[in-house]
Amino acid sequence: MASSTKYIFITGGVTSSLGKGIIAASLGKLLQSRGITVTIQKFDPYLNIDPGTLNPYEHGECYVTDDGAETDLDLGHYERFLNVPTSQSNNITTGRIYNNVITKERKGEFLGKTVQVIPHITDEIKSNFYKLGQEGKYDVIITEIGGCVGDIESLPFIEAVRQARWDLGPSNFLSIHLTLIPYLKAAKELKTKPTQHSVKQLLEAGIQPDILVCRTEYHLPAEVKKKLALFCNVQINNVIEAMDADSIYDVPLLMKKEKLDERVMTKLKLTSKIPLDLESWKDFLGKLKNPTQDVTIGLIGKYVSLPDSYKSIIESFTHAGASIECQVNLKLISSEEINSDNFQAKLEELDGILVAPGFGERGFEGKIETVRYARENKVPFFGICLGMQVAVIEFARNVLGIEDANSTEMDPMTTNPVIALMEEQKKVDQMGGTMRLGSYACDLKKSSKAFAAYGKQKIQERHRHRYEFNNDYLEQIESKGMIATGKNPETGLVEIMEIKNHPWFVGVQFHPEYKSTVLNPQPLFVNFIQAAIDNKKIK
């Protein structure tokens, strides 16, 4: 396999949730800040073809790329850190690998051979490892392997990584193992044994890690590093300490201090193309940590007990808030707990209200109450996807007096389907990958709040929905002051609804949160926070 692209593989051990995605994104950022082109891909060991059909409580939010792939939320971190779009090729699951191999088998492509995990599954994994590298756009591809070493389901991926070392050669291949060094309070000691065992497991699989990144609550003393180096067979300066950080956005600077990027570059014989430049990143961090004002915003949804379900929205508030030096105190409120008796008490302290994306009926009426409160009390309101649909239904019911107005998602028999299944969705009989997904164009009305935010008429945003605004009701709804200010230029599908006589009431059918990055805060979020600041002043 002749290629000049360098490959870094990141595995995890001891426990899950150590933040492989953040370490991958931080390393990517450091390399990118030296002019090296990088992309990051994630290989997930579960059998779903993609996370699109998973309940957010399983794995958190499903992140959507421009090309309409439904992916793991770590891809969101990759984009937010690197400011470079990802695609379907950046996220592969075991399910997809098997699906590809079985499809080839049915076509007879294996010419009568017995189809086996080794070599057929591992070959398929490897060809996916190398796919983005073959585009010729990247100097470095970082591959994050989901799960922990030792998991039965990640074995074929680990085996493929072992083989990749021989395909690529030692100066194009690097293995990083992320582990945990627990602190035992009673013994007042940092313990290396779990890491030793985890590395042993990797060695059994034939992989010698080049670099250990060690998550820890306390600084690693020199003797701990020495012990890790000795037992895990790595150079002492390749034992990298990863202390818990206040913010995920601190991690690139922490890794810089620990010289992770330099260690990687030495092993891979990479040289900086420009002097390291992290000025804009530091500028963002400075603003993030020194806010001059603050607002309280409510995020009303039904998956609030797992904040990862709203990862991109939460991060969008961080980027947008920092850009105007405002600390956003985000309150996650379950829509199931809001009703016509308690809405005032639940919502009155909020300076702005966001109704979240979602599916299904649970918590729906609480969202209706929330929108009514925001509309009537002129509280800045931002509705995303389902949030926009709820806003339309609330308006039809309470302003137009169409009492049974609904979405056919909530009530398929409603006589007033102001939100209805899209025509092309009617023939869909499979759940996975069949929504209206990915980037579509939207034209904005010049007089709109959306135009004021974006500062341009044509925008592109990402989507994930089956239902849409029913244009049969447009005239009626617009005559009462709710205006379609953004539409798809080809189909006329309503993308944005705004209320005229309201300080800031914007519902969007798309998901603006997927495109917010540290360096490009999403304009609607920025203007929504600004509207909440203005509201707080007059409250």
Q: Give the residue numbers annotated as catalytic, written as ranges.
A: 385, 511, 513
Spatial distance between the Cα atoms of 17 and 146, rounded to a whole number of angstroms: 10
Q: How far apart are the first and last CA of the chain?
A: 65
The one among 306, 359, 445, 480 contacting ligand GLN by CB under 6 A: 359
Residue 101, token pair as written in the block: 């191999």
311 in contact with ligand GLN (CB under 6 A): no
Q: Give the Cα separation of 494 and 485 in Å (integer).
A: 8
Q: Is 184 exposed, middle or buried (0-12, 13-18, 19+ CB in 10 A)?
A: exposed
Nearer to ligand GLN, 23 or 493 (CB): 493
Lay out the site mask for ligand GLN across 140-179 (x = CB under 6 A, - = otherwise): ----------------------------------------
The CA distance from 279 to 50, in Å, is 36
Closest CA to 78 of 41, 25, 29: 25
CB of 336 to ligand GLN, least distance (A): 16
Q: Which stretch binds ligand GLN (CB under 6 A): 9-17, 125-133, 246-254, 352-360?
A: 352-360
Exposure class string for 483-496: b at 16+ Cβ within 10 A, else e: bbbbbbeeeebbbb
For ligand GLN, which residue of 61, 409, 461, 495 counts as binding (CB under 6 A)?
409
Q: Helices marked H in 87-237 — which ranges?
A: 94-106, 122-131, 155-168, 193-204, 222-232
Instruction: With beta carbons less than 8 A apart as the criterion, state whether 495 and 448 touch.
Output: no
Tell me the two tokens of residue 133.
């590298």
Min CB(391)–ligand GLN separation in Å:
12
Strand partners, 294: 327
Q: Residue type for 485, please?
A: T
- Residue 358 binds ligand GLN (CB under 6 A): yes
Which C-beta is closer to ligand GLN: that of 298 or that of 358?
A: 358
Q: If binding is defined by CB under 6 A, does position 346 make contact with ligand GLN?
A: no
CA atoms within 13 A on the CB side of 371: 30
Buried b (16+ CB within 10 A) or exposed e, 293-314: eebebbbbbbbbebeebbbbbb
Shortest Å distance, C-beta 389 to ligand GLN: 6
> Do the bridges between strand 183-184 and strand 189-190 make them parallel or antiparallel, or are there none, so unpaired?
antiparallel
In 3D, which of 386, 317, 324, 325 has the Cα closest to residue 352?
317
Judged by beta carbon, residue 257 or residue 362, the one nearer ligand GLN is: 362
Task: Tell me if residue 399 falls in helix, strand or coil.
Answer: coil
Minimum Å gap between C-beta 466 and ligand GLN is 4
Cβ nearer to ligand GLN, comparing 57 with 166: 57
**Contact at 8 Å (CB) between 284 and 315?**
no
Q: Is 539 buried (19+), middle (13-18) or exposed (0-12) by CB count in 10 A?
A: exposed
Work out how close the CB of 490 gets to ligand GLN at its nearest, in angstroms, rounded to a whole number: 19
Indicate the residue among 232 and 368 with the shorter CB distance to ligand GLN.
Answer: 368
Q: Output 43 or 467, the one with its CB closest to ligand GLN.
A: 467
Spatial separation of the C-alpha atoms in residues 54 and 59, rounded to whole Å: 7
Task: Tell me whether residue 256 or residue 464 sits nearer to ligand GLN (CB atom).
Answer: 464
Q: Which is nearer to ligand GLN, 41 or 309 (CB)?
A: 309
Question: Residue 303 and residue 363: Cα distance in Å, rounded?
Answer: 10
CB of 409 to ligand GLN, least distance (A): 5
8 Å CB contact between 212 and 232 = yes
Cβ closest to ligand GLN, residue 347 vs residue 386: 386
| Per-residue binding letters, 460-479, with ligand GLN (x by CB under 6 A) | ----xxxx------------
3-class secondary structure, 455: coil
Q: Does 302 bind ligand GLN (CB under 6 A)?
A: no
Q: Please identify, using beta-carbon distances, which residue of 185 and 426 lies nearer to ligand GLN.
A: 426
CB of 110 to ligand GLN, least distance (A): 39
Query: Which segments of 147-275 does DSSP mark as H helices, in order?
Result: 155-168, 193-204, 222-232, 251-257, 260-268
Least Cβ distance, residue 398 to ligand GLN (angstroms): 21
* Of 29-37, 93-101, 332-340, 458-466: span binding ligand GLN (CB under 6 A): 458-466
Give the whole-angstrom CA distance, residue 255 versus residue 251. Answer: 6
> How many whole angstroms separate alpha carbon 243 and alpha carbon 503?
44
Among 13, 321, 357, 417, interactor with ligand GLN by CB under 6 A: 357
Counting residues that bind ligand GLN (by CB under 6 A) gives 10
Question: 366-385: which residues touch ligand GLN (CB under 6 A)?
Answer: 385
Residue 358 CB, nearest distance to ligand GLN (Å)? 5
Shortest gap between Cβ of 25 and ligand GLN (angstroms)? 24
Binding site for ligand GLN (CB under 6 A): 357-359, 385-386, 409, 464-467
